[in-house]
Structure 1
Amino acid sequence: MGNLSTPISVQKLQKALRAKAKAEVGYRFYALYDKISRDHILAHASAQCRSNKGAPGVDEQNFADIEDYGVERWRAELALSLRKETYRPDPIRRVYTAVLLRRWLRGKHKTRRKREGAYHDPELHECFGLVRLASLAAARRG
């Protein structure tokens, strides 16, 4: 992650949250929006992502886009949406492979590894519209 040291104010918050979680195992943290919307917390989080060469998320927004928009403006809008509790993160990027789908279908239909209950790749590709990785790689090259 580079030579990025955690500021003392962030360390204090981490320590307090860790102590509360250890002291009361079943405790639910409902009001963290006010804590993570602080400017120094958001500044440190974005610096960590930058030093870690963070890839664009599901919204395809990268650091160059943020710099074009204005880092301070972007951070202020993010903090405001966190404080108002209107921020809704996009769902995570998830890659479904035939193996994962096969496992999910076996669990859903309670089937074991047997011929009559097997889900073959052509069925998975047809039902779920999967793209074969080999054909996808060939399409990108050509």
Structure 2
Amino acid sequence: MVPGELTRRTLGWAVALILAAAIVVGLLLWRPWTADQPSDAERIEEQVRGYVDDLARIDYASAQARRCEASGSSAAIVKPPADGPVVSTTVAIESITVDGDTATVDAAIESSGTSMPLSLRFARRDDRWCISGG
């Protein structure tokens, strides 16, 4: 073997190793770095809590907008108070059952020491969950 031939062969292996390493690093870095999307149950829970908050603030327009068949009604003229909830209200989610593009929620609204059951049906429309009945 001629010394120049050995150098070319070694150089070829070195280049091949560097390319292989670059490919491995590229594949490891080529992953979607998006944040985890919330689950359907988490998105529905957010809607339930927002709906109850809207009602507590007497913001009927926002509550209506969470419904699938939202329409401009006389409720839209009711403006929420500027300083937050009128009634201190919490919601306890008991269960969320998702079945394809529909879901049911059983919860309890608690206000002023009183608890009232709340059952809502949801539908997925245009990749968002909206209240379809209750």
TM-score interval, normalised by the smaller of the two chains: under 0.3
Structure number, greater radius of gyration:
2
TM-score by length of 2: 0.21
Which structure exhibits the higher relative contact order, with contacts defined as CA atoms closer than 8 Å and separated by 6 or more residues? 1
More strand by share: 2
More helix by share: 1
TM-score by length of 1: 0.21
